[in-house]
Amino acid sequence: MPRNASAAVNVGPYADIRFRYAWFDNSVRGDQSPEAGDYSQEWNVSVEGAWAHGMRGERRGRRSV
């Protein structure tokens, strides 16, 4: 069974889970201003579930165009 809907020959339920971590470490200096900095972290989690459908005229292993 495919892990996503792009393998459209198979049909049925699927789930897709993504994790992302990002970090930023920035600083700014000016001639007449003190140095300013920023540090941040970010976590993202995305969960998707759906039902994969075959296309009309599509059979297992063959596609009609």
pLDDT, tens digit, 9 for 90 and up, residues 50-59? 988 777 765 5
**Rounded CA gap, 49 and 5, in Å?**
10
More confident residue, 1 or 49: 49
Does residue 63 have a pLDDT over 60?
A: no
pLDDT for the residue 1: 47
Per the structure, the complete domain to which residue 40 belongs is given by: 15-52
CB of 45 within 8 A of CB of 21? no
Which position has the higher pLDDT, 15 or 5? 15
- pLDDT category at 9 given cuts 50, 70, 90 is low
Answer for the pair 11, 21: CB distance below 8 angstroms, yes or no. Answer: no
Confidence of residue 62 (pLDDT cuts 50, 70, 90): low
* 64 in a structural domain: no
Kindly state whether residue 1 falls inside one of the protein's structural domains: no
26 in a domain, yes or no?
yes
